[in-house]
A and B are shown apart, each in its own frame.
Chain A
């Protein structure tokens, strides 16, 4: 299986900060990467698909980039509602895999 490694595992930032989460695949996954946001006790919510495509209804402060093995989720101006755990997922093979998650906290 392809291993997905996210960094950092936890980050703390202030409202208005620019926040970047990275996701690295153990082999080339082209653009087949999604990002999800999950709040405690809730189902995940899709943010980004095909590495850089924003899901309908997702605020434009979220953006994704990358291809091959290295990917980034950026929140351009962190808001209180963005406190959550973020997961990347590769779906380039017939066995999709998730990263371990990045917890974003608001200072």
Chain B
């Protein structure tokens, strides 16, 4: 069974950092891209960024709202993807979801998400 489990969400002060983890199981993690999507309380979905697989050089893409502050990495030996969030802002408060991106159905520029984790909550407040 495909599973994705996010962890690391917490309360953080503005300007501080957090690192989220996405632990995968039930499939060959290294064959897939990983997306990060967030949802502010009561709001819609916002794409944060994604990381391609090693086959595609682990190239990353980011939304303009997080570019230069957030970094996505992966450790295929552990089946984990990370979202490093630096210089946090109050507007980063959201539930953060990781999801699997199947390369064979990607556009070449980004991927949709076929399986999702349950999310981890990040609250940025002083």
Contacts and interface: CB of A to CB of B under 8 A. Distances in A.
Interface string B15-49: 00000000000000000000101000000111100
Given A43-B118, A100-B44, A91 B64 contact: no
- Most chain A beta-carbon neighbours within 10 Å: one of B35, B63, B110, B117: B110
Contact of A44 (B62, B110, B113): B113
Contacts of A53: 105
B interface, size bucket: 20 to 34
B109 interface: yes
Interface string B104-121: 011101111111111100
Majority SS of interface residues in chain A?
Answer: loop
Contact of A96 (B110, B117, B118, B119): B110
B97 interface: yes
A91 B97 contact: no
Contacts of A50: 105
B47 A97 contact: yes
Contacts of A55: 114
A34 B45 contact: no
Interface of A: 1, 30, 32, 34, 36, 38, 42-46, 49-50, 53, 55, 87, 89, 91-101
